[in-house]
């Protein structure tokens, strides 16, 4: 099951790599929706049900955010995430996954691409730490690729604004 879990997250990594190379917020969210569904299955295979449930909720969240961004629904997704961790608590690693999810939930409901990207950096760092602690090497790699892709996208799309080039 470990090898299969790592294969699923390898495909998710490709989707993450693509995600932040799009300028369109919707294209970013479609890639993330697909990626986190695969990552949820990966965590199920590793018997990490807190992370699996958080990733499944994240998929629902990304799917919702493609079409709408009502702040009241953001609160519902945050509460669902907290309840999911309470119901599936395994160890303190679950808290790190929850923190990552709450940050990324807030990010998903931001209207501006720049704000979404910046907040995702912080949530991704939490996921990197979580995945190191649960020993999922491909998930660590996936999050590092995701972080790198996001930072490259930030640089590509926003460097001209910071140095005054049109």
The tokens describing 138, both together, are 């491909």
pLDDT digits (tens, 9 = 90+) for 86-117: 999 989 999 999 999 999 999 988 888 899 88
- pLDDT of 122-137, one tens digit each? 999 999 999 999 999 9
What average pLDDT is seen over the chain? 90
The alpha helices in the chain, defined as continuous H runs, are 2-19, 25-45, 49-67, 71-88, 93-108, 113-133, 137-163
Q: pTM, whole model, 2 decimals?
A: 0.85
- Whether the pLDDT of residue 23 is over 80: the answer is no
Strand, coil or helix: what is 31?
helix
Nearest to 100 by CA among 152, 45, 39, 158: 39
Position 55 confidence tier, pLDDT thresholds 50, 70, 90: very high
């Amino acid at each position: 099951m470990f090898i299969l879990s790592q294969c699923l997250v390898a495909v998710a990594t490709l989707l993450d790599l693509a995600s932040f190379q799009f300028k369109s917020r919707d294209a970013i969210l479609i890639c993330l929706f697909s990626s986190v569904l695969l990552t949820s299955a990966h965590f199920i295979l590793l018997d990490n049900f807190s992370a699996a449930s958080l990733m499944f909720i994240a998929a629902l969240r990304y799917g919702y955010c493609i079409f709408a961004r009502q702040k009241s629904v953001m609160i519902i997704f945050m509460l669902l995430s907290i309840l999911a961790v309470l119901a599936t608590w395994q160890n303190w690693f679950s808290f790190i996954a929850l923190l990552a999810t709450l940050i990324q939930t807030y990010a998903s409901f931001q209207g501006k691409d720049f704000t979404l990207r910046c907040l995702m950096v912080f949530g991704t760092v939490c996921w990197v730490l979580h995945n190191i602690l649960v020993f999922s090497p491909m998930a660590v790699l996936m999050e590092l690729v995701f972080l790198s892709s996001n930072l490259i996208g930030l640089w590509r799309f926003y460097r001209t604004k910071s140095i005054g080039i049109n």
